[in-house]
């Protein structure tokens, strides 16, 4: 999922062609690829669809994930965005820029989680810890949503999947 994966697809096509793999086999392999590593996974739950991209996050990957999610034609969308780590002195600025972008998208809900996002200025809901997010989702479960989950590996946001049906 996501236009940002086009270069990966092109690289797979190029390598397959270089090694003499038939075009039909390359096409079939790409069409049948289903990620299972917290990267651009599409997970169908009973009442929600989840795009799980919780393997890593940096300002550029967060930006393209949000922009791609904004283009998806779904009536109800929730973005759950977790902290980006190892940004040093740029952390506050980079987190605020992501908030500014996401806050201007037409999402039903935007939930920010982590100490860095907690310090930003937003019109949406912030949680300092994962436990705060968890408690919120237990009280107000998501239903009939397309959900983007994006954050750095250290946030382990895939834990949210247990709270979404």
Tell me, what DSSP letter sits at residue 84?
Answer: P
**pLDDT, tens only, 97-143:** 999 999 999 899 999 999 999 999 999 999 999 999 999 999 999 99
The pLDDT assigned to 33 comes to 63
User: Which residues lie closer than 8 Å to 86 by C-beta, 6 or more apart?
Assistant: 152
Determine the 3-state secondary structure of 37 from DSSP. Answer: coil
Q: What is the largest CA-CA distance in the chain?
A: 55
Tokens of 122: 């937003």
User: For residue 112, what pLDDT is reported?
Assistant: 98
Dihedral through CA 110, CA 114, CA 118, CA 120, nearest 10? -70
Residue identified by tokens 């038939």 is 22
Buried b (16+ CB within 10 A) or exposed e, 58-71: ebebbbebbebbbe
User: Cα separation of 83 and 153, whole Å?
Assistant: 9
Cα distance between residue 125 and residue 6, in whole Å: 32
Nearest to 106 by CA among 137, 66, 141: 66
Low-confidence ranges of the chain (pLDDT < 50): none
């Amino acid at each position: 999922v996501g236009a940002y994966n086009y270069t990966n697809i092109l690289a797979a096509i190029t390598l397959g062609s270089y090694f003499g793999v038939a075009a039909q086999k390359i096409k079939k392999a790409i069409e049948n690829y289903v990620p299972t590593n917290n990267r651009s996974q599409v997970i169908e739950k009973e009442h929600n669809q989840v795009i799980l991209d919780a393997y890593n996050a940096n300002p550029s990957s967060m930006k393209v994930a949000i922009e791609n999610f904004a283009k998806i034609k779904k009536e109800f969308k929730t973005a759950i965005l977790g902290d980006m780590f190892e940004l040093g002195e740029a952390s506050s600025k980079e987190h605020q820029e992501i908030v500014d972008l996401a806050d201007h998208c037409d999402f039903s809900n935007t939930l920010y989680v982590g100490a860095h996002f907690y310090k930003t200025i937003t019109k949406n809901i912030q949680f300092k810890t994962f436990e705060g997010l968890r408690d919120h989702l237990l009280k107000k479960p998501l239903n009939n949503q397309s959900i983007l989950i994006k954050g750095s590996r250290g946030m382990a946001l895939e834990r949210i999947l247990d709270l979404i049906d």
